[in-house]
Amino acid sequence: MNPYFAKDFFSFFAIFIQRLFLFFRGQLSLTEIASDELQIFVLSLISCASAIVGSLLVLKKSTMLANSLSHTVLLGISVAYLIVAFFSQQQPQVVIGVYVLLLAAFVTAILTTVLTQFLIHSLRLQEDASIGLIFTLFFALGVTIVTMYTRSTHLGIEAVMGNVDALHLDDLKLISWVVLLDIFVVGIFFKEFKMIIFDPCFATVLGVNPSLFHYLLMILTAATVIGAFRAVGVLLVLSLLVGPVLIARIFTKCLKPMITYSCMIGSFSSLLSVAVARHLLTVYDMPLSTAGLVVFLITVIYCASLLFIKIKESVTLSRVAKQKNT
């Protein structure tokens, strides 16, 4: 039985802290964690992966291309499903492995980026027009495949909107590998990523290929989307890639603290959203989307942060004005 069943907001946190303590002491295994705890772990890891990649995307001003990838990756997932279904010949019971999903993400990311760059450099189209063209084409093909060939599965609604209630340990393993991949790649090439973000011309002089690391960043973005699509879907993942980073950017301009703050903000929003969702279901019998609550809370935190900074600036200006008058 779920220990969080029929628990309100404060009871939820009391039980969670107690069980988290048992987990770190080794008295509670991964197979024994409740569905609410699994949601918190998965959403927090998604937030960390999104913070690592999203910080680079925001500073590089490539969020529109990330938005394109978060939608076009649906085509890769759909095609991977069809291929696996064809070889297994058991379409209603097809299970797509982690490596197949990651391979689909890599292929989709490379194809989307290559076609977008081709339209920009060869056909002289504007960047936003190129992204919009590839994005709508690939997403439309993905939706078409989903509606035509996967009606007997849960792929359609979960790929678009996500479903945290359907998460299991395999999803936790998948997003854990994605987080490790993001940490490993960004950690090794951190200086190179900084150079291509802030001064690509200087990076070229030093022998760093900006295009190579641009493609690498797109691959990491696609892998992060793959890890997140089951929980939050392809439509909400962009909010996790951008929202916490924008909040962190209000308080710091340095890349490493920005990534750290983004991870903390996303993880806190995930924990709070699961608790609020359980509280609303228990007290008011209102079943709400946990992923939607995460995005809503991130938006609220962003607005509150902007308001805090504006108030702080106005107070500072008023003090300076008083000092000048005196």
At 271 the pLDDT is 94
245 in a structural domain: yes
84 in a structural domain: yes
30 in a structural domain: no
326 in a structural domain: no
137 in a structural domain: yes
* CATH code of the domain covering residue 40: 1.10.3470.10
Domain that holds residue 54: 9-25+36-321
31 in a structural domain: no
Taking only the tens place, the pLDDT of each residue in 112-147 is 888 988 888 888 888 888 888 888 898 888 888 877
Average pLDDT over residues 89-93: 54
The amino acid sitting at 26 is G
The percentage of the chain sitting over the pLDDT mark of 90, rounded to a whole number, equals: 39
- State how far Cα 219 lies from the chain centre: 14
Taking only the tens place, the pLDDT of each residue in 202-218 is 889 989 999 899 889 98
At 231 the pLDDT is 77
At 90 the pLDDT is 55
Task: Give the 3-state DSSP-derived string for the chain, with helices as H, strands as E and coil as C.
Answer: CCCCCCCCHHHHHHHHHHHHHHHHCCCCCHHHCCHHHHHHHHHHHHHHHHHHHHHHHHHHCCHHHHHHHHHHHHHHHHHHHHHHHHHHCCHHHCCCCHHHHHHHHHHHHHHHHHHHHHHHHCCCCCHHHHHHHHHHHHHHHHHHHHHHHCCCCCHHHHHHHCCHHHCCHHHHHHHHHHHHHHHHHHHHCHHHHHHHHHCHHHHHHCCCCHHHHHHHHHHHHHHHHHHHHHHHHHHHHHHHHHHHHHHHHHHCCCHHHHHHHHHHHHHHHHHHHHHHHHHHHHHCCCCCCHHHHHHHHHHHHHHHHHHHHHHHHHHHHHHHHHHHHC
Tally of structural domains, the chain? 1
Return d(Cα 112, Cα 139) in angstroms, integer.
11
Residues 6+ apart with CB under 8 A from 202: 195
Average pLDDT over residues 56-75: 85
Average pLDDT over residues 62-84: 82
At 100 the pLDDT is 78
Return d(Cα 138, Cα 134) in angstroms, integer.
6
68 in a structural domain: yes
In this structure, of 61-75, 83-97, 103-117, the range with the lowest mean pLDDT score is 83-97
231 in a structural domain: yes
